[in-house]
Structure 1
Amino acid sequence: MSNQIPTKADLPMKSERDHSGMPNSHLHELFVDELRDILGAEKQLLKGLKKMAEKAVSNTLKIAFSEHHTETAEQIERLKQIFMLMNLSVTEKKCEAMEGLLNEADEIIEDFEYNEALDAALIVTAQKIEHYEIASYGCLITYASLMEHEEAKGLLEITLAQEKETDRKLTHIAVSEANITA
């Protein structure tokens, strides 16, 4: 048995308040961690959407990226609301997945900037991002439901519906314009 004093890294994660009385409280830390991850992801995405809108050739795609930029800002505000509802500090964490997806978008822009397939390439990258977000919000909704955080669940459902609609719009633009032009 060691007499060493445990470091912060050795201690289990502690929540900002005791949640042991809530249903499925074992999910609380995961829920909070995922909230922080998606908040970071959405903030990272704001910059990426602006760049994709600037680089898109089709006016329809430019508008879709710009509209989603506005929605993303709204989604960030909803996430902040959830943090406040749960008496948590609004803290984001760097989302490694979003960073990778946005790096891929930068590569696509560089590789296809003067190519007729640029819009099709931007759409495939944007849809990868949407699918990541759809998966993240779907899990968060499940956790919120299991822990009976009904107000948080409702806010997350609004965002999930927006993400799914953006994915549908991108598919429509790809099928009706971008893939044909490419």
Structure 2
Amino acid sequence: YKVANEQTAAVYAADHGLTCVGLRPFTVYGAGRDQGVTSQPTAAIYSAVRGEPYRVGYGGVTDFHYAPDVARAFIAAARVDLDSPAAPAVNLRGHVTSVDDFVDRVRRITGFDDLGVGTEPLPFAHALSPAGLAELLGDIEPTPLDDAIAETTRILSTAL
């Protein structure tokens, strides 16, 4: 259905003379990310902040995108001025790492160890090419993973 949405955007752009930009993040994490299967890394951070055991239900490697970085990309996409109606879609690039590594970082940053990780990877491709991203939106550097996890920890700590 996501490809169908991108194709619908292309038709709409052509019909109405607009530019539509599609962005494809993968595992978005950070304060406020609490729905869907890929929200589990955020749930792990929140559980650690609360001192409650948690297990991410999947393992493997994924591309982690910090929510404020994704927001910056969407804002940049809204400002894109192409010469003609178009609907380009590009993959965002965050930090490609294992769920184990992400959760290990959460343990280290929060000081809470009772977090687990599943073994089965999600059935999706990861580390997709960000070809065209920089040309379209400029250079959007992802926040360092440890900094983003620490900031999420601070934000979620205030929600207690």
Q: TM-score, normalised by structure 1?
A: 0.30
Name the one with the larger helix percent: 1
Bigger relative contact order, structure 1 or 2, given CA contacts below 8 A and separation 6+? Answer: 2
Q: TM-score, normalised by structure 2?
A: 0.33
Name the one with the larger strand percent: 2
